[in-house]
Amino acid sequence: MIGEKQSHRRSNRFIKKEFQFKFIVKFCLLLLVGVLISTSLLLLFSQDSLTSSFAQSRLVIKSTGLAILPSVIYTNLIILGFMTLLTIIFTLFISHKIAGPLFRFEKELTDIGEGDLTRKVILRKNDQITEMAKCLNNMTAGLHEKVLAIQVELGNILKSASMQDTPKEIIERLEHLHQEIGGNFKI
Q: With 70 as the cut, is the pLDDT of residue 3 above it? A: no
CA angle 12, 13, 15 (to 5 degrees): 65
Q: What letter represents residue 31's amino acid?
A: L
Q: What confidence score (pLDDT) does residue 149 get? A: 92
Question: Rounded to the nearest 5 degrees, what angle is found at the Cα of 57, between the Cα atoms of 55 and 63?
Answer: 30
The percent of residues in the chain predicted with pLDDT above 90, rounded, is 7
If one compares 48 and 12, the residue with the highest pLDDT of the two is 48
State the DSSP string of the chain.
Answer: -TTSS------GGGS-HHHHHHHHHHHHHHHHHHHHHHHHHHHHHTTT-EEEEEETTEEEEEEHHHHHHHHHHHHHHHHHHHHHHHHHHHHHHHIIIIIHHHHHHHHHHHHHHTTBTT------TT-TTHHHHHHHHHHHHHHHHHHHHHHHHHHHHHHHHHHTT--HHHHHHHHHHHHHHHHH-B-
Nearest to 173 by CA among 161, 186, 185, 187: 161
pLDDT given at position 15: 61
Q: What is the mean pLDDT of the chain?
A: 82
Min mean pLDDT across 18-22, 67-71, 72-76, 150-154 is at 18-22
Average pLDDT, integer, range 65-69:
85
Instruction: Enumerate the β-bridge partners of residue 59.
Output: 54
Domain boundaries, the chain: 12-184
Residue 9 pLDDT exceeds 60: no
Whole-number pLDDT of residue 14: 54
Give 95-129 pLDDT, tens digit per residue.
777 777 777 888 888 988 888 888 888 877 766 67
- Give the model's confidence band at 21: pLDDT under 50 very low, under 70 low, under 90 confident, else very high: confident
Q: How far is Cα 42 from Cα 68, in angstroms, rounded to an integer?
A: 9
Q: Per-residue pLDDT averaged across 3-30, rounded?
A: 66
What is the predicted pLDDT for the residue at 78?
Answer: 92
Confidence (pLDDT) at 2: 43
Q: Residue type at 63?
A: S
What is the model's pLDDT at position 128? 65
- Residue 47, Cα to own-chain centre: how many angstroms? 47
Measured at the CA of 183, the angle between CA 178 and CA 186, to 5 degrees, comes to 105
pLDDT (average), residues 59-85: 88
